Structure 1
């Protein structure tokens, strides 16, 4: 009888362990990007880094442009960077005094499961401006739950935003 109870106890622990483990595998993935916009007084430029999960960006490029970029692999397509830039130009914008300004796509690098994209807006002349705004719709066309965190820094002022599909613009008054 004692042996039967011990076997039932062990079976119960095993079943409980399996239930707990299976709940982890069904956890919902979060969708987030983080963009930093920093003003360089020396260069009179906005220096921008955007961190996006590689698998999410790859999926949106596949669906939007019907390509297989193979990001962050030895087989990465030669055209991958051009499509990343094209996508960012369609989904990300910087506005000075509510007027869109162009940015230079400087390149990208990979850091574990994240791609870091480098952008720059030159000759911003912020001393003559009243506001900086960022509109970020990256991945919101693919993931309903996508959140794009944006941090803007200018001469000691810092403002952070969590942008979503319905509210995709954040502004710092200078």
Structure 2
């Protein structure tokens, strides 16, 4: 009886170690993009929320710049490269035609950078469909997920984009 108790006491630390090694914290790679139609501005207004550290790492690996986002030493080139990256990895089509967007800037909120984009001069009543391709950070993280919410004329549609399925389509 005593030996089985000793054996359990010896095995317990090993079992705990195994359980803890499988339950270690895993970082999730997620961005959230909101696209809302503004009747007053006749434009789709886009906000894209990305973790600062992920975007900072991407700018370093892809463009070789030390952006130092959200610090007093932030690179003067940060906005230029963020815009360049969004133009390469984020696209919207209305009725099958790619539309241009304006990069309006960014701001920080705790550990997130919020990028502001606008698709101007949209006549919603004449627009039948929209597709959104969002590959932001997918070239850096295999398990990146980009959630997209679209709101227009009292309607709302959401989709989750991943590397293998990076485009969402909807009828307006």
- TM class, shorter-length: 0.7 to 0.9
Report the CA distance between 1:28 and its aligned residue: 1.4
How far, CA to CA, are the matches of 2:149 and 2:163 in structure 1?
17
- The runs of 4+ residues in structure 1 deviating greater than 3 Å are 12-25
Gaps of 5+ in 2: 1-8
Aligned to 1:57: 55
Note the alpha carbon deviations across 1:132-152, whole angstroms, 9 max, x for none: 211100001010000000000
- Structural mapping, 1:20-59, within 5 Å: 25=24, 27-59=25-57
Aligned to 2:5: none
How far, CA to CA, are the matches of 2:82 and 2:110 in structure 1?
18
2:143 aligned to 137, 142, 145, which one? 145
How far, CA to CA, are the matches of 2:151 and 2:77 in structure 1?
33
Aligned to 1:99: 97
Gaps of 5+ in 1: 1-8
- Structural mapping, 1:94-173, within 5 Å: 94-173=92-171
Report the CA distance between 1:22 and its aligned residue: 6.4
Aligned partner of residue 52 in structure 1, secondary structure: strand
How far, CA to CA, are the matches of 1:20 and 1:110 in structure 2?
37
Aligned to 2:76: 78
Aligned partner of residue 81 in structure 2, secondary structure: helix
Report the CA distance between 1:156 and its aligned residue: 1.2
- Structural mapping, 1:6-17, within 5 Å: none
How far, CA to CA, are the matches of 2:166 and 2:38 in structure 1?
25
Alpha-carbon RMSD across the aligned residues, in angstroms, is 2.1
CA 1:73–1:43: 2 relative to 1, 3 Å: same
Aligned partner of residue 57 in structure 1, secondary structure: helix
How far, CA to CA, are the matches of 1:94 and 1:166 in structure 2?
18
Give the TM-score, by structure 2 length: 0.88
